[in-house]
Amino acid sequence: MTAKPLVPASDKPAIQPGSRTLIIINPAAGQADTEKVLRLLAGAFAVRGASFDVMHTAGAGDAQRAAKEAVAHGYRAVVAVGGDGTVGEVITGLAGTDVPVGIVAKGTANQVASNLGIPRDIEAAVEVAVNGVPAPIDLGQLDDGRYFALAAGAGWDAAVMATATREMKDRWGFGAYIYAGLQVGVKPPRHRYRIVADGRELKVRAAMVLLANMGQFVANTIPPVQVTVAPDVSYQDGKLDVCIFAPRTVADVAALALRVLRGRFSGDEKLIYFQASEVTVNADPPAVTEIDGEPVGHTPLSARAVQGGVTVLIPRVGRSA
């Protein structure tokens, strides 16, 4: 199963040659040398006649603040150079505006870029940022105002994200997530969840509750493995896909993983799927939570779907990126 194609808002480039772009780069993201990345970015923008400014982040919240300031200062686009956390902050800063987001993947997982079909090669990604076309995508929004593009989760996935520390990711790259997944998967966390979705209540014992806006997850292994986590997931349908995974044993974990890999989403009571516009997740005991791969605390987790919440720059159809 593949993600449904994005519907562009226009077939015209969002950034005309000569217009100004703000590049927000997270030096801590990924394993690539930041100075080398900047040299490649500068050359790729220059050869396309696109002017730009660069801002380095130093801590959490910097990218969001810079993106908001970019709107106020009249930048035509903001390009996030980093991982899913950096992309999420830039999206939060630009949500509800007509300033588009460009992405140059420099993180460990880069799931948002993968879902949007944005190439990992820097030259090709800049081509999309300069000559791509704008397309509206849905977002999820937490009750504290933060947005997410990929997913918000409670339980298992959040525990994996919390276990895969920055030091581990710097040392092992995507292997940090594999190691963390094996650690957590040996004994899946079990919580008593109370989920309220569009006013309907569900109580279930489970290891994880995922509120997915995007459905493709790519393991950057050799060869890469792409997994669709829910049936008919789309980031242009105005809904969140609620995915509940309830393995009881390690054997259950393996069986559910195989089902998801094969796209067999029905026929097992330990896999539950439905869609909703607004969802609140409570857990007893409280479960750790994450958004777009970044730990954010513990349940309760409340989120709503925001249809067309931000505009992204996507590859031009029929044009080599």
Task: Provide the 8-state DSSP code for 43.
Answer: H
Among 46-50, 207-211, 238-242, 259-263, the minimum mean pLDDT is found in 259-263
pLDDT at 173 over 80: no
pLDDT at 101 over 90: yes
Q: What is the pLDDT of residues 82-98, one digit of tens each?
A: 988 899 999 999 999 99
Q: What number is the average pLDDT over the span 161-169?
A: 60
pLDDT at 78 over 70: yes
pLDDT, residue 264, reads 86
pLDDT at 186 over 80: no
Q: CA separation (Å) from 236 to 119, 241, 278? A: 21, 12, 16
Peptide bond into 119 cis (omega under 30): no
- CATH 2.60.200.40 positions along the chain are 147-307
Task: Provide the 8-state DSSP code for 235.
Answer: T
Q: CA separation (Å) from 285 to 154, 155, 163? A: 12, 10, 19
Q: What number is the average pLDDT over the span 32-52?
A: 91
Mean pLDDT, all residues of the chain: 84
- CATH 3.40.50.10330 positions along the chain are 20-140+308-314
200's CB contacts (< 8 A; 6+ apart) are none
Rg (CA), the chain: 19
Residue 299 CA to residue 296 CA, distance in Å, equals 9
pLDDT, residue 222, reads 61
Q: What is the pLDDT of residues 119-147, one digit of tens each?
A: 999 999 999 999 999 999 999 999 999 99
Q: What is the pLDDT of residues 111-123, one digit of tens each?
A: 899 999 999 999 9
Q: CA separation (Å) from 141 to 59, 138, 289? A: 21, 10, 14
Q: CA separation (Å) from 308 to 6, 96, 239? A: 11, 8, 11
pLDDT at 194 over 90: yes
**Which CATH number is correct for 20-140+308-314, 3.40.50.920, 3.40.50.10330, 3.10.20.30, 1.20.970.10?**
3.40.50.10330
The CATH architecture that domain 147-307 belongs to is Sandwich (2.60)
- Residue 63's pLDDT band, with cuts at 50, 70 and 90, is very high
Q: CA separation (Å) from 13 to 19, 159, 314? A: 11, 40, 10
pLDDT, residue 8, reads 58
